[in-house]
Amino acid sequence: MMELLLELFLFAMVVWFQIFGFLLIIGNIIGNSSKPAKEFALWTLYQFKRPLWFIRNIWK
């Protein structure tokens, strides 16, 4: 049960970061944002390609 909760929490965190990064990208298109925000947004887009990557690594 605890493992399931941890996995759900990590998954929710990943999804939240993806949404946050996507909003940053939209913000960059609308207005000129700072360089770290752009880098973070690109990093989160990269996470879309492998959303459950670190969850799988934890269980190894």
Tokens of 58: 């934890």
Can you tell me which residue has the tokens 């940053």?
Answer: 24
- Rounded Cα distance between 51 and 36, Å, is 21
What local confidence, expressed as pLDDT, does residue 17 receive?
A: 79
Domain ranges of the chain: 13-59
Size of the chain, expressed as the number of residues it contains: 60
13-58 pLDDT, tens digit per residue, is 888 877 877 777 777 666 665 677 667 767 766 766 665 566 566 5
One-letter amino acid for residue 58 of the chain: I
pTM as predicted = 0.39
